[in-house]
Amino acid sequence: MPTVNDAARITTRDGAGWRTCGGCGLLAALPPAADQCPGCDRPTATDARPAPDVWEIAHRYAETVGRIQAWVDMAHRSDAERLDNIRQFLADLDRFHAARRKGAGECR
SS (H, E, C) the chain: CCCHHHHHHHHCCCCCEEEECCCCCCEEEECCCCCCCHHHHCCCHHHHCCCCCHHHHHHHHHHHHHHHHHHHHCCCCCHHHHHHHHHHHHHHHHHHHHHHHHCCCCCC
16 in any annotated domain: yes
Cβ proximity of 12 and 18 under 8 Å: yes
- Residue-level pLDDT at 87: 92
Structural domains in the chain (count): 2
Evaluate whether 98 touches 107 at the Cβ level (below 8 Å): yes
> In residues, how long is the chain?
108
pLDDT of the residue at 12: 58
Residue 108 belongs to a domain: no
Same-domain check for residues 64 and 90 = yes
CA 89 to chain centre: 27
Per-residue pLDDT of the chain (108 residues; tens, 9 = 90+): 666 665 555 555 666 677 788 888 888 878 888 888 877 866 655 555 555 677 788 888 889 899 889 988 888 889 999 999 999 989 988 888 888 777 754 444
DSSP 28: E
Is the pTM higher than 0.75? The answer reads: no
Task: Supply the range of the domain harboring residue 11.
Answer: 4-43
Q: Is 37 in the same domain as 67?
A: no
Tell me, yes or no, whether 107 lies in a domain: no
